[in-house]
Structure 1
Amino acid sequence: MNGAQALIRTLVGAGVDVCFANPGTSEMHFVAALDDVPEMRGVLTLFEGVATGAADGYARMAGKPAATLLHLGPGLANGLANLHNARRGRAPVVNVVGDHARSHKRLDAPLESDLDALAGAVSGWLRRSLSPADVAADAADAVAESARRGIATLVLPADVSWEDGAEPAPPQPGRPAPQVAPSVVDDVAAVLRSGEPTVLFLGGDVVGSEAALLAAGQVAAGTGARLMAETFSARAVRGAGLPELTKLPYPPEMAIAALVGTRHLVLAGATSPVHFFGYPDVPGTPVPEDCTVHVLAAPGEDGVAAVRALAQVAAPDARAELLEASRPELPTGELTPRAMSAVVGALLPERAVVVDEVLTSGVGLAELTSGAPRHDWLSLTGGAIGDGLPMAVGAAVACPDRPVLALQADGSAMYTIQALWTMAREQLDVTVVVCDNGSYAILENELSRVGAAEDGKRAGELLHLGGPSLDFVALATGMGVPATRATTAEELAEQLRAALAAPGPHLVDAVLPGRR
């Protein structure tokens, strides 16, 4: 058995049975070995950033890693932005990165690069297989370490892949997340009983668990603490029957206002919040100077168990206030961002997976979907735009029995528009709504926020997507995805309803006022 065959059999044996790939010459023996291991599903992407973003979305929904197959240092470099998002969201991913044959590396071939430095920028674990006898054990280690450290990268020299003498390795036993000490729970309960203004700040595994959210709601009801979630969660469960959970706003002035007067900030699965960027005369964090930060459960610890234990200690007899089922009325007339959000809230299917890269066009989106049927919400964790469409690919592969709705800004869609082709090829049940305002609107806001806006024509040209305008219907249909264009609220409702009801991928180009 050659190294590639042993590697794939080891991955499958450890539960990694999907590989998002954009391979090259160095990976051809891995590609050939897929015929020998039919349990491994290979999913072709046309750009490495789609492969890594899809692995991110898959991991968030499946709760286990997918593999990526990338070509040498340049292929890995093309996927780094979405690996950055996966790292920030603590998603487990196993990268298999092909490298030159060991005898060829010394010749400094054109594709030779500092692969280890590139991988080290995003990997919690990194190893190079040095012989066919090592590769299977290395693969088993990679899967185990991805559960502990997020991204594990295994560098696979071409000759290690093609040479014989390898055998599969058994999977390593998993390790449960560390438990929070009872004394920590007691200390936080004492803070909550103090009567001082307190925010229970939720993130990580806590916002992805119905049980944890219900327990957090019980704590809030029994102690008067406010519930708040991190701005961008890797996966959050939402909808009717759960407590209302407000996200910390993205704009710094709004985030500061949201926490004003808070004396205690209790972190449960989240880190202490900071602004995405530094601004003139604005503090780097929205946490008030006189606020004490307490850690109930750090990321990587069992935050779900910690919050449930806290509910029993701090508010054993309280009952959480839960959101009633509600939907907005379907709007009519002009297709504004809020009207788009109302259409989504009115039509969101039960058990949907919403992939949110809507950015500035998401006016009212959280409010108007809060009472919808239970659904999962995936956000842009690391701020590297272009993750939305690939994450939708990965989520749909992980959950083929659930509808996936990708809410996608127009500018960031173009970073990884090739994901539409993979949706069509795999016939994934993904409905894409492009928020088409014809600009990098988020950067227009940032230009003003940092004090650099002077209404300059040349600066404006770098933020506007016209001349020529993007034709998302043509782009989608050219890659095999049926597409329509909506210019009114009624058209969007009609087209979204039809797209959600039909199998396979569809795209709706929602033309917003800035575009017209």
Structure 2
Amino acid sequence: MNGAQALIRTLVDGGVDVCFANPGTSEMHFVAALDSVPRMRGVLALFEGVATGAADGYARIADRPAAVLLHLGPGLGNGLANLHNARRARVPMVVVVGDHATYHKKYDAPLESDIDALAGSVSGWVRRTSDASQVSADAVEGIAASRWGSQISTLILPADVSWSDGAQLFSTMDARPAGADPLLAPEVVEVLRSGEPTVILVGGDATRRAGLAAAARIAAATGARVLCETFPTRLERGAGIPAVERLAYFAEAAAAQLDGAKHLVLAGAKSPVSFFAYPGMPSDLVPAGCEVHVLAGHTGAADALSALADQLAPGTAAPVAAASRPALPTGPLTSASAADVIGALLPERAIVVDESNTSGVLLAQATASAPAHDWLTLTGGAIGYGIPAAVGAAVAAPDRPVLCLESDGSAMYTISG
């Protein structure tokens, strides 16, 4: 068994059974090994940014990582923008980057580059495998780091390590590390019982139905307001789900939403800052005199909110959005009428990938009470994410309709998707 075969078998044993790929010469043994492991589904992309964006969209819906196969440093570089978005989304992903054979690197061939440095800018875990016997062990560690750390793991695989025999398989890590006790936040309980103006800012896994329901229960019982981070990784919304207002993109509007708050409770979200610096405007959007309290990080926020709701709001039901659709519009096509068309016709269980940018400002209102659906957003601000993410979401959930709302300029970056 060569290194490439061991890597693919370890990936599928670890639950990574889809690989979005744009391979080159140094990855040919990995490609050949796909035939020997039929459980791995290979999906070819014509541009690396499509492969990385598709893996992002896949992970957001499947709740587990896909693999990405890239060719040397330039291939990794071509995929960096959507890896940046995936890093900001805190999705798991296993990136395999082929490199020159170990003995060939000293010759500084034209495609030679510092892959480790490039990978480090977007990855939480980076490993260069130097021997076929270590490929599986390194892959096991990378899968665990990605899945349980909600981050990108990058494994650099030299060509001779890939083609060399002597590889062996190591067992994958099945158990999730124990999480923190969600009840260990007494100051948050005190704040919410105080009656002082409080905002709960949700993000991470708290933007799913369970987390939103818990936050809505807390708000109903305590008078706190609930906001969602500006660009959530995956927001469940629509009829039957508690409605939540997203924090505005522009600093002035976001500051107005937070104005008057004495306490800001973070449940899966980061403390809000403006996207850019503006003359005379603060970068930190937390109002002066407002105390920030961290309830939970990106993962575990829904559980923490549920525990908090059981403590603060026993017997309180979460208000949910009623089913309602806008009427189909007539007249000229505008951003408003387009939003109404989408709201009127959006299918049940749809996955909406939103990179509509400025054309989509009215979408939230038009679709708020449409049949329950998932909404994926541009978490990192690097455009060209929408089409690839929609491809990945469709691979993850082939039984669900996927709607990509794509601005024309952003589409040009990854049009081959």
Q: TM-score, normalised by structure 2?
A: 0.98
What CA distance in whole angstroms lies between the structure 2 residues aligned with 1:183 and 1:45?
46
Structure 2 counterpart of 1:19: 19
What CA distance in whole angstroms lies between the structure 1 residues aligned with 2:364 and 2:25?
46
Structure 2 counterpart of 1:252: 251
Structure 2 counterpart of 1:166: 167
Structure 1 counterpart of 2:355: 357
Amino acid at match of 1:170: S
Contact 1:222 1:319 in 2 (8 A): no
The secondary structure found in structure 1 opposite 2:294 is strand
CA pair 79-60 structure 1, distance change in 2 beyond 3 A: same
Contact 1:180 1:297 in 2 (8 A): no
Structure 1 counterpart of 2:64: 64
1:185-264 correspondence to structure 2 within 5 Å: 186-208=186-208, 210-264=209-263
CA pair 6-183 structure 1, distance change in 2 beyond 3 A: closer
Per-residue CA distance 1:368-395 (angstroms, 9 max, x = gap): 1111111111000011111111000100
Structure 2 counterpart of 1:327: 325
Per-residue CA distance 1:252-301 (angstroms, 9 max, x = gap): 1111111111111111111111111111111112211111111111224x
TM superposition shift of 1:363: 2.5
Are residues 1:76 and 2:46 paired? no
1:303-382 correspondence to structure 2 within 5 Å: 303-382=301-380
Per-residue CA distance 1:195-227 (angstroms, 9 max, x = gap): 11111110000002x122111111111111111
Amino acid at match of 2:191: V
CA pair 177-226 structure 1, distance change in 2 beyond 3 A: farther
Are residues 1:33 and 2:25 paired? no
Amino acid at match of 1:161: S
What CA distance in whole angstroms lies between the structure 1 residues aligned with 2:318 and 2:94?
39
Stretches (4+) displaced over 3 A: none
What CA distance in whole angstroms lies between the structure 2 residues aligned with 1:232 and 1:319?
27
Contact 1:233 1:379 in 2 (8 A): yes
TM superposition shift of 1:183: 3.3
1:491-502 correspondence to structure 2 within 5 Å: none
Structure 2 counterpart of 1:409: 407
The secondary structure found in structure 1 opposite 2:414 is coil
TM superposition shift of 1:397: 0.3
Alpha-carbon RMSD? 1.0
What CA distance in whole angstroms lies between the structure 2 residues aligned with 1:118 and 1:73?
7
The secondary structure found in structure 1 opposite 2:179 is coil
What CA distance in whole angstroms lies between the structure 2 residues aligned with 1:405 and 1:389?
10
The secondary structure found in structure 2 opposite 1:19 is strand
Q: TM-score, normalised by structure 1?
A: 0.79
Structure 1 counterpart of 2:184: 183
Are residues 1:291 and 2:290 paired? yes
What CA distance in whole angstroms lies between the structure 1 residues aligned with 2:284 and 2:366?
28
What CA distance in whole angstroms lies between the structure 1 residues aligned with 2:136 and 2:319?
51
What CA distance in whole angstroms lies between the structure 1 residues aligned with 2:178 and 2:131?
33
TM superposition shift of 1:180: 3.8
Q: Which structure has more RCO (C-alpha within 8 Å, separation ≥ 6)?
A: 2
- Tell me how many residue pairs correspond in the alignment: 416
TM superposition shift of 1:168: 2.4
What CA distance in whole angstroms lies between the structure 1 residues aligned with 2:93 and 2:178?
17
What CA distance in whole angstroms lies between the structure 1 residues aligned with 2:233 and 2:397?
16
What CA distance in whole angstroms lies between the structure 1 residues aligned with 2:51 and 2:381?
18
Amino acid at match of 2:360: G
Contact 1:65 1:94 in 2 (8 A): yes
Structure 1 counterpart of 2:98: 98
Contact 1:125 1:149 in 2 (8 A): no
TM superposition shift of 1:182: 2.0
Structure 2 counterpart of 1:111: 111
Gaps of 5+ in 1: 420-516
1:427-466 correspondence to structure 2 within 5 Å: none
